[in-house]
C-alpha cells in the first residue's frame, strides 16, 4: 500500500533485546514522533524517562525496593526477578502521563494520549531497525510506585518500553481476518 502502512503492519514486539540501542539523534526523531500523538486540547501530558547505562541500576533499585517495601515480598528468587527486570534490554523508557484538571479533557483521555505516543515510539523504533516491547506489570498504573520516581498522584506511569537490537528470528505475525473485527455499515 505505502511504506508507512507496511511498516506498521510488519512491526513486531521483541522480548530479546541487546546493544546497540538507538543513538541520541535517532531518539530525538523518536520523541518528535511520540509528541505528535493525538492530544485533546494540546495539554502535552506525556513525559518519558530515558534509562540506559547506570540508569538501569537505578531502575533496578526502584523495582527491588518496591518489591520489598510495597509488595512485601520476602522470597529472594522473586525479589531478584523484579530486581533484574530492567536488564532485559539496554534501554528502557518510562512513559508517564502528567494528569491535569481540564473542563473538557478527562484524565483518562490524557492517559490515552500517552498510550498513542507509546505506539508512535514502537513504530518509530521498528522503522529505524531496532526492536522494542511495551511492558506493564505491577510497576505500571500503580500509584504506590510514584514516590520512587519523585512523582505525586497527578502522575501515572502508563508503561515501560524496552528498547534495543532484536536477537533471534523475527516472530511470525498472526494472520487475522478483517471481517472478524470490522463491521461495515453502508
Ligand X SMILES: Cc1cc2nc3c(=O)[nH]c(=O)nc-3n(C[C@H](O)[C@H](O)[C@H](O)COP(=O)(O)O)c2cc1C
E strand map for 53-154:
91-98, 131-135
Report CA-CA distances (Å) from 104 to 39, 41, 108, 177. 12, 8, 12, 37
- Minimal distance, residue 161 CB to ligand X, in Å: 9
Distance in angstroms (rounded) separating the CA atoms of residues 112 and 66: 26
The C-alpha cell at 141 is 498504573
- Minimal distance, residue 158 CB to ligand X, in Å: 7
Closer residue to ligand X in complex, CB, 66/134: 134
Closer residue to ligand X in complex, CB, 54/178: 178
Residues that bind ligand X (CB under 6 A): 12-13, 133-137, 159
- Minimal distance, residue 73 CB to ligand X, in Å: 18
Closer residue to ligand X in complex, CB, 136/143: 136
Closer residue to ligand X in complex, CB, 35/141: 141
**Whether 140 contacts 118, CB under 8 Å:** no
Amino acid at each position: 500500500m505505502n511504506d508507512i502502512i507496511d511498516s506498521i503492519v510488519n512491526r513486531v514486539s521483541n522480548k530479546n533485546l541487546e546493544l546497540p540501542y538507538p543513538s541520541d539523534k535517532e531518539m530525538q526523531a523518536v520523541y518528535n514522533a511520540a509528541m505528535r500523538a493525538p492530544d485533546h486540547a494540546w495539554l502535552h501530558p506525556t513525559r518519558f524517562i530515558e534509562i540506559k547505562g547506570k540508569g538501569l541500576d537505578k531502575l533496578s533499585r526502584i523495582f527491588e525496593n518496591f518489591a520489598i517495601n510495597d509488595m512485601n515480598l520476602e522470597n529472594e528468587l522473586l525479589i531478584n526477578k523484579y530486581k533484574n527486570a530492567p536488564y532485559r534490554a539496554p534501554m528502557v523508557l518510562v512513559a508517564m502521563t502528567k494528569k491535569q484538571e481540564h473542563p473538557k479533557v478527562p484524565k483518562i483521555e490524557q492517559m490515552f494520549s500517552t498510550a498513542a505516543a507509546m505506539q508512535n515510539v514502537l513504530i518509530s523504533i521498528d522503522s529505524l531497525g531496532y526492536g522494542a516491547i511495551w511492558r506493564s506489570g505491577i510497576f505500571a498504573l500503580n500509584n504506590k510506585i510514584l514516590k520512587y520516581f519523585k512523582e505525586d498522584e497527578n502522575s501515572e506511569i502508563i508503561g515501560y518500553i524496552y528498547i534495543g537490537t532484536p536477537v533471534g528470528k523475527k516472530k511470525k505475525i498472526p494472520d487475522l481476518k478483517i471481517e472478524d473485527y470490522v463491521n461495515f455499515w453502508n
